[in-house]
């Protein structure tokens, strides 16, 4: 049985199956890059973009611009064989960060837009 990557369980608590199509798979990979902090992976310590670590620091517009550049650079580095990143928009609202990624899937040349949201741990839950 092909497993879903990044690894997680489905609603029944079982290993989630691999996505049915490439679009879901690529979206999952983008989310993995966004939500992984450098140093989190033992055998690939430079993987990820540090979004969660930076997103809740004070900084306003300067931090937002830095996050956009960091996210775009990380996606281009880790997923350039699968997608061509066209635009990244990072919005900071109190304890929430919203990231919108516009990209073209290399294999199909289809344009996609994916939105992700993360909350600071312990806020709003």
Enumerate domains of the chain plus CATH numbers: 22-119 (3.10.450.40)
pLDDT (mean) for 11-26: 66
Would you state the pLDDT for residue 27?
93
Tell me how far CA of residue 96 lies from CA of 1, 23, 56, 118, in angstroms: 36, 25, 8, 6
Would you state the pLDDT for residue 41?
86
- C-alpha to C-alpha distance for 75 and 71, rounded to whole angstroms: 6
Would you state the pLDDT for residue 65?
86
Would you state the pLDDT for residue 123?
46
The b/e string for 59-93 (b: 16+ C-beta within 10 A; e otherwise) is eeeebbeebbebbbebbeebbeebbebeebebebe
Q: Is 117 exposed, middle or buried (0-12, 13-18, 19+ CB in 10 A)?
A: exposed
Task: Quickly count: other Cβ atoms within 10 Å of residue 119's Cβ.
Answer: 15
Tell me how far CA of residue 29 lies from CA of 72, 74, 80, in angstroms: 14, 12, 12
Cβ contact 65:118 at 8 Å: no
Structure tokens that stand for 124 in this block:
């709003």
The pLDDT tens digits of the residues spanning 19-63 come to 556 788 899 999 999 989 888 888 999 999 877 776 666 667 787
Residue 125 pLDDT > 80: no
List the Cα angle 108/110/113 in 5-degree steps.
135
Structure tokens that stand for 8 in this block:
């997680």
Which is more confidently placed, 77 or 124? 77
């Amino acid at each position: 049985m092909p497993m879903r990557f990044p690894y997680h369980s489905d609603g029944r608590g079982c290993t989630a199956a691999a996505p049915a199509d490439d679009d879901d798979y690529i979206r999952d990979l983008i989310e993995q890059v966004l939500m992984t902090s450098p140093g989190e992976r033992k055998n690939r310590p430079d993987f990820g973009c540090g979004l969660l670590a930076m997103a809740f620091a004070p900084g306003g517009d300067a931090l937002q611009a830095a996050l956009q550049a960091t996210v775009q650079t990380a996606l281009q580095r880790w997923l350039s064989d699968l997608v061509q990143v066209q635009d990244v928009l990072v919005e900071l609202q109190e304890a929430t960060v919203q990231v919108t990624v516009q990209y073209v899937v290399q294999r199909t040349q289809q344009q996609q837009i994916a939105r992700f949201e993360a909350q600071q741990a312990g806020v709003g839950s």
